[in-house]
Structure 1
Amino acid sequence: MHKRTFLITSAAALAFAGAALTGCTTTTTSGKADAGAVRTEIDNGVDSTLNRLYAEVKGSRELVAKSNAVLVFPRVLAAGLVVGGEYGKGALRVKSEHGGYYSMASASVGLQAGAQSKAVVLLFMTQEAFSKFGQSKGWTAGVDASVAVIKVGVNGEVDTATANSPVQALVLTNAGLMANLTLEGTKVSRLDL
């Protein structure tokens, strides 16, 4: 009986996650995504996320400026019940120039319920880390590179002296910057938009 309950709960969670993530695309009346509208939505979201980051986190503008590239996912949706998933679309900026569109996805199992949204900003601080990312067909955090989630000091400022990992991340929610999470196992893939 427990196995059946688990299967039903898992199926419901996956259906819920799928339904939540389906709303992440802009579609035309034919049901196909309008690539131009998706690109515009992503670009506007990237600009908005970076502006919010700079306004809310002291030292973040300088940290982004020191990076070789920044990959911004303005809206990563997480949904699930027992089995959950996260998905978002974003854009790469290389010294303020456009560098392509990407998706990020991860799955998790454990006690979770509901849906939430967050923004994820990945900073490639070294040329070596950025080159490895650029050469990969599908890059996975924790496998292809370890990703350090940046912490903010008590003064509300990024400590740029200790933020020295080759790949760093900032995660923003409606409540502000998150520090106690991991992006390990998150897969990043290039989108053809």
Structure 2
Amino acid sequence: MTMSQFFKPVLAIAVMMMAVTGAAEAAKPAKIDRRVDEALADFREDIGGGEAVLTRAKGVLVFPLIRKGGIGIGGEYGQGALRIGGDTVAYYSTAAASIGLQFGGQSRRQIIVFLDQGALDKFRSSQGWEIGVDASVAVVTVGAGGAIDTTQLNQPIVAFVFDNKGLMYNLSLEGSKISEIHRD
């Protein structure tokens, strides 16, 4: 098999995945805001201690729908909003790629909470922010009784990843690239 024969199917899969994930077209701000409202309401209602965490936040970056899929080569994409004081101040996208044993797809919600003003300011002034490179983000898990493990809340930036069944475990956000969506 030549390199050209190998890369044509890989490119076709990548293009198909981008179309499936919606990366080709930005959602309208009103749609993103509606989905962010729903994700935050579910977080407050379903995750013990969720309201207290949001109250402490200097800023909250919410991706209400991140789709991930792959066949050997995978990718994920989602759009969301940064909220400060309950108001949307900017829109962002998140994207990541992976290579390895994988087949299928999934979706999830992701909330990144900035508990430190300096960390939020650094994020907002960046021209593209990569988790694990530009900042370390602690992924918070659920402790006893289905409540947030508050021992992990001593970091400047924490993340919560959940689906319709609750918080998800053993996830790494390393390598996720977050970029502001500029609207004309």
Q: How high is the TM-score relative to the length of structure 1?
A: 0.87
| 2:112 aligns with one of 101, 110, 122 | 122
Q: Give the Cα–Cα distance (whole angstroms) in 2 for the partners of residues 61 and 2 of structure 1.
A: 55
Q: Give the Cα–Cα distance (whole angstroms) in 1 for the partners of residues 2 and 164 of structure 2.
A: 37
Q: Give the Cα–Cα distance (whole angstroms) in 2 for the partners of residues 47 and 72 of structure 1.
A: 9
Is there any run of 5+ residues in structure 2 with no aligned partner, and where?
A: none
Task: Give, in angstroms, the shift of residue 7 of structure 1.
Answer: 3.7
Structure 1 runs of 4+ with >6 Å offset: 2-5
SS in 2 for 1:168: strand
Task: Give, in angstroms, the shift of residue 76 of structure 1.
Answer: 0.6
Aligned residue in 1 for 2:178: 188
Q: Give the Cα–Cα distance (whole angstroms) in 2 for the partners of residues 2 and 44 of structure 1.
A: 48
SS in 2 for 1:144: coil
Aligned residue in 2 for 1:16: 16
Q: Give the Cα–Cα distance (whole angstroms) in 1 for the partners of residues 105 and 61 of structure 2.
A: 23
Q: Deviations over 1:125-151 (max 9, x none)?
A: 101110110110111111111011001
Q: Give the Cα–Cα distance (whole angstroms) in 1 for the partners of residues 114 and 138 of structure 2.
A: 11
Q: Give the Cα–Cα distance (whole angstroms) in 2 for the partners of residues 120 and 127 of structure 1.
A: 20
Does residue 132 of structure 2 align to residue 135 of structure 1? Answer: no
Alignment identity in percent?
41
Task: Identify if the C-alpha distance between structure 1 residues 12 and 145 changes in structure 2 by more than 3 Å, giving closer, same or farther.
Answer: same
- Preserved contact between residue 23 and residue 78 of structure 2 (Cα < 8 Å): no
- Preserved contact between residue 9 and residue 82 of structure 1 (Cα < 8 Å): no
Q: Deviations over 1:45-104 (max 9, x none)?
A: 000000011111000110111011000000111121111111111001012122111111
Q: Give the Cα–Cα distance (whole angstroms) in 2 for the partners of residues 24 and 50 of structure 1.
A: 26
Letter in 2 for 1:21: T
- Preserved contact between residue 23 and residue 77 of structure 2 (Cα < 8 Å): no
Task: Identify if the C-alpha distance between structure 1 residues 159 and 81 changes in structure 2 by more than 3 Å, giving closer, same or farther.
Answer: same
Q: Give the Cα–Cα distance (whole angstroms) in 1 for the partners of residues 157 and 19 of structure 2.
A: 32
- Preserved contact between residue 22 and residue 77 of structure 2 (Cα < 8 Å): no
- Preserved contact between residue 139 and residue 187 of structure 1 (Cα < 8 Å): yes
SS in 1 for 2:48: coil
Aligned residue in 2 for 1:29: none
Q: Give the Cα–Cα distance (whole angstroms) in 2 for the partners of residues 178 and 133 of structure 1.
A: 24
